[in-house]
Structure 1
Amino acid sequence: MIALLRAAVPLFLAMITGQLGSLVVTSVLGNHATVTLAAFAVVTAVLNPASTAVQGSLRGLGPFVAPYRDDPAAAVPVIRDARWLSMTTGLVGATAVACVPLLAGATGVPGEVVAEMGALPYLLAVYLLVFASTGGATTILVALGRGGSVMWPTLSFAALLGGLSAVLVPALGLTGVGVAWVTAGVVSAVVAALSLRRALGRAIGQARPRIREIITLAKVSIPLAGTVLIKFAVLGVVTLAASTTGTRDTAAHAVLTTLTGFIMVTSLSIASAALPDVARATDTAGARRAHRGAVLLAITGTLVVAGLLLGFGENLLVLFSDDAAVRDRVLGLLPLMLLASALDAAQAVQGTGLTALKRSSSSLMFLAIGYGLLLLAAVPVAGTWGVTGLWAAMAVANGLLVVLQGTGFRRHSAKLGEPRTPAGTVHPPTPDTCTKPPAAPGRS
């Protein structure tokens, strides 16, 4: 448990740092011009799911790299395959971001807002390609047990993004944000590449794409990206449903959603840190032990944050709203939000456990069931029970996912060490250059 916590802390700090960089940009734009902030919101409405999907697909590389922790250089062929896959997903995401002006014009976004975008969509498309070119360097570093190294790429990105935006936005508007984003992305990618090379002890180099191995990676990575997209889409519908309940309830929902984002950083960092341990487990007991520790630690972290929120209460909420009625509404909904967040933390770790077992397609199916039901219920629930009903529905959906993902993990982890043919005959595992490292000298 202590080792897991030690591995999770750098990831937690890196995620928090990244969020702070984005908050600085929003603050700078908010003080520049209202139309500029509106244009930025439209562009990031596409950038956020696109970049999160690319990032989600890269997280699927963890279970393929984790077995090489004792011999990092042997992971290079897998990392090359990962780079081809990440560039493919990055190209799709970059194309979507570059098409934002066309999409905005077609969907009725005011002309002045579209004109205000300037070169931002194209610069952010370049940034997404730069990010994809790292081939999931941070995920690979975590899988190799070098989690402390992931802070430096994120720290350099956040510092440059915030600092350059403050300098460039007054003169260049949103184009200045785009320049800052690309510059920060390039520097962050260089830092990540240097950290990865140091961890591997050799250069990655180039090689022809190994189609079969890339497809094997994609079978785990692409469903993981799909889970992210489904969750983003459904929570967007929930927000739209909340907007029909009244101005103060809508504002309260926005505050609660922001707080949830910070709470989830805890569970996501723990889940990411635990993934290599589950992936490296050679038997059912080892996988379940690592997974159980991650779930307990994630719930504990969520409860600690919940205690802080409940303790500071009114004093903390002043930072988010100067409307006393909104703050009272948030305080009233806080226990329900914390329940939903604790269940979300548990199901997120359960889903990551399935990814570690290379069963992200099962996690995708479970999330489609849980959030599909939430999607169907959002508007009727909001109309009948308001925001209170929506957060209750989210708690129920997350609770269902805890059961589904947990059951799935137990079922798939039970198969560890017992590969079977379709007829059911047990055979020794055969070498697989994409998923297993060669045996080290002196080891069976």
Structure 2
Amino acid sequence: MIALLRAAVPLFFAMAMGMVGSLVVTSVLGKHDTVTLAAFAVMTAVLNPASAAVQGALRGLGPFVAQYRDDPGAAVPIVRDARWLSLTTGTVGALAVLSVPLLAGVTGVPGEVVRELGLLPYFLAAYLLVFASTGGTSTILIALGRSRNVLWPTLVSGLVLSVLTAALVPPLGLTGVGIAWLIAGTAAAGVASLILRRALGRPIGQARPRIAEIISLAKVSVPLAGTVLIKFGVLGVVTFAASTTSTRDTAAHAVLTTLTGFMMMASLSIAQASVPEVARAADTAGARRAQRAAALLAITGTLVGAGLLLGFGERLMVLFSDDAAVRERVLALLPLMLVSSAADAAQAVQGMGLTALKRSAASLVYFAIGYGLLVLAAVPVARTWGITGLWAAMAVANGLLVVLQGTGFHRHSAKVSTAAATAM
């Protein structure tokens, strides 16, 4: 457990730095104009699933690279294979981001919110392509046992994004956010490339695609990307449903979504750090032991985060909006958001465990069930109970996933010993 904690701490700080950038963006936009913040919420409803799908596909590298911890240079061919997948998903994600204005107009988002988007979709589409070009640097470093190095690209990105957002939003609005995001992503990609080359001990270079190897990688990566896409895609639908209630409720939903990201940092960092440990386990007991340690640490981190938000929630709200009505709505819904986030944190650890076992397809099925029910309920719930009902529905969906993911990991981990024997 100590080794897992040491690997997770740098990842937590990396996520925290990335979260700082998001918090600064939300805070600056909230103080700039409520309509601007609502438009940003609509934009992130597509940006989040698109970028998360790219990141999810790259996380599928983990169990493949982990076996080369003692010989990092041997993982270079896998890194090359992964680039083909990441660039493909990045291109698809960029096209989705460009379609946001059209999608928002069709789904009934107020015209003033749609017009506020301006050039933001174009800058964020370019950012996604830059992000995809990194080829899963963070996942590779984690799998090789060098999670400390993950902090630096995120640190650069968070600092650049924060400074440029504060400087560019007052004169340029959401266009300023787009410029800041693209510059920050480009800077982070440059730093990540240098760190990865040093970790591998050799340049990655170019090579023809190895079809068979790419297919093997895709069998884990594509379902994982699909899982992430389902989650954030459905959450995007929830955001669109929230945006049909009122501008203030949409802004409140944006703040709550940002706070959810804060709650998830501990569990996600621990889940990612546990992938190499579960993937390298020689038997069922070892895999389950690593998973239990990860679950215990994730739950502890979630409880700490919940305590901080409950204790300082009222003071934090001032950072996000000058609109008293928006702050009141966020505070009223904070306990419900914490319940939803706690369940989400628990299921995330189980899901990454399935990825470590190269069983991300099973996790995809579970998400299709849990979040499929949520997407069907989102619009009717929003019309009947508003964003309060939406957050209650998310809590129920995440609770269902805890049961499904946990049961799935228990079943598939029972095959670890058999798989190891077959490989030998």
Do both proteins adopt the same fold according to a TM-score greater than 0.5, normalized to the shorter chain?
A: yes
Residues 356-384 of structure 1 deviation map (CA, whole Å, 9 limit, x = unaligned):
11111100101111122233344555666
SS at match of 2:3: helix
| Equivalent residue, structure 2, for 1:279 | 279
- Range 18-27 or range 201-210, more displaced: 18-27
Using the TM superposition, give the Cα deviation of residue 187 of structure 1 relative to its aligned residue in structure 2, in angstroms.
1.8
Give the match for residue 353 of structure 2: 353
2:126 counterpart residue number: 126
The Cα of 1:397 is off from its aligned counterpart by: 2.3
Q: CA deviation at 1:222?
A: 1.5
Unaligned runs of at least 5 residues, structure 2: none
* CA deviation profile, 1:33-68 (whole Å, cap 9, x unmatched): 777666655544433321121111111111111111
Report what 1:223 is aligned to. 223
Q: 1:225 to 1:307 in 2, by over 3 A?
A: same
CA distance in 1, matches of 2:281, 2:18: 31
Using the alignment, how far apart are the partners of 2:326 and 2:320 within structure 1?
10
Q: State how far apart, in whole Å, the 2-side matches of 1:34 and 1:316 are.
A: 17
Tell whether the 8 Å contact from 2:344 to 2:398 is kept in structure 1 after alignment: yes
Which residue is equivalent to 2:95? Answer: 95
Which residue of structure 2 aligns with residue 208 of structure 1?
Answer: 208
Pick 1 or 2: higher relative contact order, CA cutoff 8 A, min separation 6: 2
Q: Taking every aligned residue pair, what percent have the same amino acid on both sides? A: 77
Identify the residue that residue 399 of structure 1 maps to in structure 2. 399
Offset at 1:388?
A: 5.4
Q: 3-state DSSP class of the match of 1:134? A: coil
The one-letter code matched in structure 2 to 1:374 is L
Letter of the structure 1 residue corresponding to residue 19 of structure 2 = Q
Does 110-119 or 154-163 show the bigger shift?
Answer: 110-119
Hey, what's the Cα distance between the residues in 2 that align with 1:389 and 1:116? 27
Q: Is the 8 A contact 2:278 2:287 kept in 1?
A: yes
Deviations 1:407-426 (CA, angstroms, capped at 9, x unpaired): 11111111113149xxxxxx
Q: Which residue of 2 aligns with 1:199?
A: 199
Partner of 2:374: 374
Task: Tell me how far 1:328 sits from its aligned partner.
Answer: 6.8
Structure 1 equivalent of residue 187 of structure 2: 187
What is the alpha-carbon distance in structure 2 between the residues aligned to residue 239 and residue 408 of structure 1?
29
Instruction: Provide the rounded CA distance (Å) in 1 between the counterparts of 2:124 and 2:110.
Output: 21
Instruction: Please say which of residues 102-111 and 386-395 is displaced more in the overlay.
Output: 102-111
Q: Secondary structure at the residue paired with 1:209? A: coil
Determine the C-alpha separation between the residues in 2 that align with 1:396 and 1:153. Answer: 36
Secondary structure of the equivalent of 1:206?
coil
1:204 CA drift (Å): 1.2
Superposed, which structure 2 residues align to 1:27-176 within 5 Å?
A: 27-29=27-29, 40=40, 43-100=43-100, 119-169=119-169, 174-176=174-176
Cα distance per residue 1:240-286 (max 9 Å; x no partner): 55567888877765554433221111111111111111111121111
Moved more, 154-163 or 130-139: 154-163
Distance 1:315 1:283 in 2: 48
Task: For structure 1, list consecutive stretches of 5 or more residues without a partner in the other structure.
Answer: 421-426, 431-444
Pairs aligned (count): 424
**Aligned mates of 2:396, 2:158 — CA distance in 1:** 35
**Structure-1 separation of matches of 2:182 and 2:330:** 37
The reply to whether residue 428 of structure 1 matches residue 422 of structure 2 is yes
Corresponding residue for 2:343?
343
1:281-360 counterparts in 2 under 5 A? 281-312=281-312, 314-320=314-320, 333-360=333-360
CA-based RMSD of the aligned residues comes to 3.4
CA gap 1:334/1:220 in 2 versus in 1, 3 angstroms: same
